[in-house]
Chains A and B, each alone.
Chain A
Amino acid sequence: MLPVVQIGRFALQLPGLLLILGVWLGLSQAETAARRRGLPVDALTAVVGLSLLFGLLAARLGYVLVNLPAYIPRPFDAFTLTPSALDGWSGIVGGAAAALILATRRRLPLPLLLDALAPGLAAFSVFLGLSHLASGAAFGAETELPWAIRLWGTLRHPTQAYEAVAGLLAFTLVRRRADPVPGQTFLLWLAAAGFSVLVIEGFRGDSLLGPWGIRVRQVPALLLGLGPLWRFGKLARGASTAGASSAPMSQEGSSHA
Chain B
Amino acid sequence: MRNTIIILIISLIAVSCGKDKFTTAPQIKFKSIKPDRVPSNVIIHSADVPLLTIGVTDREGDLGFVDGKDTAFLFIRNIALNRTDSFHLPDIQSAAGKNFDSDILMDMFDVLRPDPRYTNRPRVDTLMFELYVKDFAKNKSNVITAGPLYYEVQ
Question: Do A and B originate from a single complex?
Answer: no
Binding site for B on A (CB under 8 A): none
Binding site for A on B (CB under 8 A): none
